[in-house]
Amino acid sequence: MTFEAWLQSRLTAHGFACGPIDGIVGPLTIAALRGFEEARGLPVDGMADEAVVAALRQLASRVDEETAEAVERRDPPEDAIQRIDLASPTINRWPRQNEVSAYFGAVGTRQTPIEIPFDMVLAWSKWTRIRRMTLHEKIAGSAERVLRLVAETYSASERAALGLDLFGGSLNVRRMRGGSRYSMHSWGIAIDFDPERNQLRWNAPRARLSHADALPFWQAWEAEGWLSLGRARNYDWMHVQAVRL
């Protein structure tokens, strides 16, 4: 049994159904994982980290003991934790904010351009088409996979309605607003979409990307281990980052 299939069977055993136990971590599994994290008082980040694995190993509550037995109690494969650290294509384990220098190196270094698989324009200069964005080489492949999925999930008019065609910046070496720490954009590990309709201090439902039709967009990022500050903290809904809080 792969770690992914173990994860799905344990979530199901705990009463968080994630569809067929097929070892493919998609939106249903991530949603189940987030529901489990919330119920257990763990950080709701959709990441199968050590705390989640430990909680999943415990027997499900008496209420769903029957389900638990039906699914069978199993321990994760011995290399499970290690495999998460090695960043599988479906569950990446990006560093936390205080670990970014150690993981990504100096700000502004190791950058690479990626092709954007749909039409984008500069948010503040809408006659300027954007075909590439610059990201850190460690997360570039992951971002490309997400953007391809976004291109397949939404039509051009749906992307325009959501503002997914409005590029608000990726690499940008600068300090955080009102602080001395570097912004996550300084390492090219964050991307902004439609900043005008998702202003920094706007919450749901004012921020456009907090609406229900944006959910598949966020789930596509979360399936690759990226974090939305909007989804996690209800501000800065323009922003997604390959960094955990």
Residue with smaller CB distance to Zn ion, 192 or 222 = 192
Of 32-40, 42-50, 96-104, 235-243, the window that binds Zn ion (rule: CB under 5 A) is 235-243
# binding residues, Zn ion (CB under 5 A): 3
In the complex, least distance from residue 192 CB atom to Zn ion, rounded to whole angstroms: 4
- Does residue 239 bind Zn ion (CB under 5 A)? yes
Report the site for Zn ion in 173-192 (rule: CB under 5 A). Answer: 190, 192
Of 63-71, 121-129, 142-150, 236-244, the window that binds Zn ion (rule: CB under 5 A) is 236-244
Residue with smaller CB distance to Zn ion, 150 or 229 = 229
Pairwise CA distance, residues 166 & 132, whole Å: 13
- The pair of structure tokens assigned to 185 is 């954009």
Q: Which of 194, 55, 35, 62 is nearest to 126 (CA)?
A: 194
DSSP letter (8 states) at residue 170: S
Of 4-12, 21-29, 106-114, 231-239, the window that binds Zn ion (rule: CB under 5 A) is 231-239
In the complex, least distance from residue 38 CB atom to Zn ion, rounded to whole angstroms: 25
In the complex, least distance from residue 234 CB atom to Zn ion, rounded to whole angstroms: 15
Q: Which of 173, 182, 23, 44 is nearest to 109 (CA)?
A: 173
- Does residue 231 bind Zn ion (CB under 5 A)? no
Pairwise CA distance, residues 78 & 244, whole Å: 25
Pairwise CA distance, residues 243 & 96, whole Å: 5
Pairwise CA distance, residues 61 & 2, whole Å: 24
In the complex, least distance from residue 28 CB atom to Zn ion, rounded to whole angstroms: 28
How would DSSP label each residue in 109-127?
A: -SEEEEEEEEEEEETTEEE
Dihedral over Cα of 96, 79, 34, 114: its sign: positive
| String marking each residue 129-168 x if it binds Zn ion according to CB under 5 A | ----------------------------------------
- Does residue 37 bind Zn ion (CB under 5 A)? no
Q: Which residues lie near Zn ion (CB under 5 A)? A: 190, 192, 239
